[in-house]
Amino acid sequence: MPGLSFHGVSHSWAGEEALKHVDLEIADGEVMCLVGPSGCGKTTALHLAAGLEPLVSGEIRIGDEVVAGNGVHRPPEMRGVGLVFQEFALFPHLTVADNIAFGLRRSRQAKSTAGDLLDMVGLGGYAEKYPHMLSGGEQQRVALARALAPKPRILLLDEPFSGLDVRLRESVRDQTLEILRDIGTTTLIVTHDAEEALYLGDRIAVLQGGRLLQTGTPGAIYQRPATAFVARFLGDVNWLHGTAVPGRVRSPVGDVLADGFITGQRVDVLIRPEGLHLTPEGEGPGARVIERRLVGHSTLVSLRLKNGETLRARILGQTAPEPGTDVRIRFDEDSVLVFPCQQAPHLA
């Protein structure tokens, strides 16, 4: 059974379409990441699911219950949803325990529930502290505990880690994912960070301009993107052009296996940097190393082909040829993507 589903959902702001005929099903207990550039409609989708905006057309269901559409608009408090916003929105005058128990004031178990949730998010000794006494990561976990307190059917998170610095973001993200796995609540996470979506989601859904382009597991979408936009949004690519011949495409880095194109057709050839390999000699096109940059556990190497085009290769570890070195390039076939020729997509 789907935990949350969108059926033909369209929505407009001031006459401009924010969502266009979106169909999306999130399975019961699944973590779904809705990802896309700024202004693509992902936060609108979350607000519609939460009931913060009335739906223009289509239908939204939680379980088998219609909560929006066809004359129905259930308010947020009647939908059984928990919300975590980017700003966390904790009440500054309330203690951590009172923030968590805010929606449970009529419950006799509110105090013990808040204590149990604080233990679950790793903040067992923080009940009497106030939000200003907490770090950003601690505030995020309090906000998550507060959203979970009423035992929601659906959990909705809007850019929940974007306000944290990089190192803190990684640790809080790991803790949050562990909690989500443990409780098994159907979860929709909205993010503009492709790496975050690939890491967190059981599945991800990619939006562009209000349209749902592709849905699938992180591995399937990264390896088999439906469009050049999806490929480029989810990770760095070298964008080259080629010409189709029977069964292949001729490109600046060599022939690539590809079917479904007309002989002579111009195509885009996208190659992931990690799919390029450099050797001092051998087969493959020649190139010269023009720059190398250490990035964590890998090195990004900038190359210039003999025709003047530039490429980037990602080499694991710190061993990479020095600038000025002549190398040969070979590539992994499964890291090459071929699409009909178009203008490189704008990702902002």
Q: Which of 200, 232, 264 is the last residue of a domain?
A: 232
In sequence order, the 6+-apart residues with CB closer than 8 A to the CB of 71 are: none
Looking at the structure, tell me whether residues 12 and 124 fall in a common domain: yes
Looking at the structure, tell me whether residues 334 and 197 fall in a common domain: no
- CA distance linking residue 51 with residue 48, whole number of Å: 5
For residue 205, is pLDDT > 90?
Answer: yes
Count Cα atoms within 13 angstroms, Cβ side, for 191.
24
Q: What is the pTM of this model?
A: 0.89
| Percent of the chain with pLDDT strictly greater than 70 | 97
Model confidence pLDDT, tens digit, residues 110-132: 878 888 899 988 898 899 999 99
* Phi, psi dihedral angles at 148 (to 5 degrees): -85, -15
Looking at the structure, tell me whether residues 198 and 55 fall in a common domain: yes
pLDDT for residue 346: 57
* 140: nearest Cα among 168, 107, 166: 168
Q: How far is CA 311 from CA 223, 253, 261, 308, in A?
A: 20, 10, 25, 10
Say which CATH number the domain at 104 has. 3.40.50.300
Model confidence pLDDT, tens digit, residues 6-52: 999 999 987 788 999 999 999 999 999 999 998 899 999 999 999 99
Q: Model confidence at 108, in pLDDT bands (50, 70, 90)?
A: low
Q: Judge whether 293 lies within some domain.
A: yes
Looking at the structure, tell me whether residues 82 and 197 fall in a common domain: yes
Find the range with the poorest average confidence among 134-143, 162-171, 300-309: 162-171
Is residue 238 within 8 A of residue 311, CB to CB? The reply is yes
Looking at the structure, tell me whether residues 44 and 109 fall in a common domain: yes
H or E element at residue 136: helix 136-148
Model confidence pLDDT, tens digit, residues 277-325: 998 887 888 999 999 999 888 999 999 998 899 999 999 876 889 999 9
Say which CATH number the domain at 331 has. 2.40.50.140
Q: Judge whether 268 lies within some domain.
A: yes
Residue 340's beta-bridge partner residues? 267
pLDDT for residue 195: 92
Model confidence pLDDT, tens digit, residues 219-240: 999 999 999 999 999 999 999 9
For residue 182, is pLDDT > 60?
Answer: yes
| Percent of the chain with pLDDT strictly greater than 90 | 64
Looking at the structure, tell me whether residues 262 and 228 fall in a common domain: no
Q: Which of 232, 266, 283 is the last residue of a domain?
A: 232
Q: Model confidence at 85, in pLDDT bands (50, 70, 90)?
A: confident
Query: What is the number of domains present in the chain?
Result: 2
* 27: nearest Cα among 179, 223, 215: 215
Q: Model confidence at 271, in pLDDT bands (50, 70, 90)?
A: very high
Looking at the structure, tell me whether residues 35 and 68 fall in a common domain: yes
pLDDT for residue 106: 61
Q: Range of 146's domain?
A: 2-232
Q: Which of 232, 267, 282 is the last residue of a domain?
A: 232
* 153: nearest Cα among 71, 78, 45, 60: 78
Q: Judge whether 346 lies within some domain.
A: no
pLDDT for residue 311: 95
- CA distance linking residue 191 with residue 167, whole number of Å: 18
pLDDT for residue 47: 95
For residue 259, is pLDDT > 90?
Answer: no
pLDDT for residue 226: 94
**DSSP labels for 138-192?**
HHHHHHHHHHHTT--SEEEEESTTTTS-HHHHHHHHHHHHHHHHHH--EEEEEES
Tracing tokens 């974007």 back to the chain, one arrives at 162
Is residue 216 within 8 A of residue 204, CB to CB? The reply is yes
Looking at the structure, tell me whether residues 220 and 319 fall in a common domain: no
pLDDT for residue 309: 92
Looking at the structure, tell me whether residues 227 and 277 fall in a common domain: no
The length of the chain, given as a count of residues = 348
Looking at the structure, tell me whether residues 133 and 282 fall in a common domain: no
pLDDT for residue 344: 57
For residue 75, is pLDDT > 90?
Answer: yes
- Sheet containing 203-208, strands listed edge to edge, beginning at the edge strand earlier in sequence: 81-84, 154-158, 186-191, 31-35, 203-208, 211-216
Q: Judge whether 334 lies within some domain.
A: yes
Mean pLDDT along residues 259-284: 90
Looking at the structure, tell me whether residues 219 and 244 fall in a common domain: no
Q: Judge whether 345 lies within some domain.
A: no
The token pair that represents 321 in the structure block: 């040829």
Looking at the structure, tell me whether residues 77 and 179 fall in a common domain: yes
pLDDT for residue 213: 97
